[in-house]
């Protein structure tokens, strides 16, 4: 059976590209964005009562990860990118149907005529992500205290993040124009967003991540992340 779904809205995100996005929602609480509902789903009545929820579920499309074929196994970064396990045992982006599920914090709902915008934080979605559905997070059923997953039993390792003198000065200039930024950068980079096979390796290579209006340049050596520059 085949089904067709219509996007109810699209994400405006601090993440402008896939590289650097934390692999789970909530790992970077400072990551903010908006969900703009589109017609005919942008009716104010459609979100009536949603303001009672502090968190919501978003069902979305991995629109930048679609393929013509699928594979029954994947190499999750959590396992170093070398071990293959079943796609349904992971949250990998490459799936038979490219859909995902994230729980995010609902900061506020903004309604201006027929424009309905949900302001979000703890986001793990790239700019332009199509949203298929919204559901309220209900703690007494969604939070399972005895749940276990032995493949991901512990939170990911957090690396210290330091800033070069150049980056510190550029940060002052950036925040003078665009507002708070350092917390977001720290929370994203402490996850070590490099490819899985680079984990636990020191290298001279300088990487770049597009966050908000900036290209953040960083390197990793001796399990310490150094912000080298902020280009904007």
Pairing of strands 99-112, 214-221: unpaired
pLDDT for 65 equals 80
pLDDT for 134 equals 98
- pLDDT per residue over 164-183, tens digit each? 999 999 999 999 999 999 99
- pLDDT per residue over 3-31, tens digit each? 999 999 999 999 999 998 988 899 999 99
- Specify the pTM: 0.90
Distances from the Cα of 173 to the Cα of 176, 226, 229, angstroms? 5, 19, 12
What is d(CA 225, CA 189) in angstroms, rounded to the nearest whole number? Answer: 7
Higher pLDDT, 74 or 105: 105
DSSP label at residue 15? B
Spacing of C-alpha 186 from chain mean position: 14
Helices (DSSP H) in 88-145: which residue ranges?
A: 139-142
- pLDDT per residue over 205-220, tens digit each? 999 999 999 999 999 9
- pLDDT per residue over 90-131, tens digit each? 888 888 999 999 999 999 999 998 899 999 999 999 999 999
Closest by alpha carbon to 230, among 161, 177, 167, 164? 167
pLDDT for 30 equals 96
- Report the share of the chain in percent with pLDDT over 70: 98
CATH code for the domain defined by 9-142: 2.40.30.70
The tokens of 127 are what?
Answer: 């700019």
When the pLDDT of each residue in the chain is averaged and rounded to a whole number, the result is 92
Domain spans in the chain, listed from the N-terminal domain onward: 9-142, 161-231
SS3 for 1?
coil
Radius of gyration of the chain (CA): 19
The tokens of 214 are what?
Answer: 């900036």
DSSP label at residue 189? H
The tokens of 198 are what?
Answer: 């680079």
What is d(CA 206, CA 226) in angstroms, rounded to the nearest whole number? Answer: 9
Whether residue 37 is predicted with pLDDT greater than 80 in this model: the reply is yes
161-231 architecture in CATH?
2-Layer Sandwich (3.30)
Query: What is the average per-residue pLDDT within 37-52?
Result: 96
């Amino acid at each position: 059976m085949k089904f067709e779904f219509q996007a109810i809205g699209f994400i405006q995100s601090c993440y402008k590209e896939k590289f650097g996005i934390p692999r789970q929602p909530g790992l970077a609480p400072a990551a903010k964005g908006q969900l703009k509902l589109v017609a005919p789903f942008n009716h104010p009545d459609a979100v009536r009562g949603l303001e009672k929820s502090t968190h919501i579920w978003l069902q979305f499309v991995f629109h930048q990860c679609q393929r013509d074929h699928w594979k029954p196994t994947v190499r999750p970064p959590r396992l170093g990118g070398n071990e293959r396990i079943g796609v349904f045992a992971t949250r990998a982006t490459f799936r038979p149907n490219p859909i995902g599920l994230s729980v995010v914090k609902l900061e506020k709902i903004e309604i201006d005529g027929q424009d309905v915008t949900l302001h979000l934080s703890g986001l793990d979605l790239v700019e332009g992500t199509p949203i298929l559905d919204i559901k309220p997070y209900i703690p007494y059923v969604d939070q399972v205290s005895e749940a276990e997953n032995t493949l991901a039993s512990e939170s990911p390792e957090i690396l210290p993040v330091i800033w070069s003198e150049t980056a510190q000065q550029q940060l002052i200039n950036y925040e003078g124009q665009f507002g708070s930024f350092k917390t977001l950068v720290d929370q994203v980079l402490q996850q070590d967003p490099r490819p899985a096979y680079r984990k636990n390796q020191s290298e001279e290579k300088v990487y770049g991540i597009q966050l908000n209006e900036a290209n953040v340049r960083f390197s990793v050596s001796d399990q310490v992340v150094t912000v080298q520059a902020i280009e904007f």
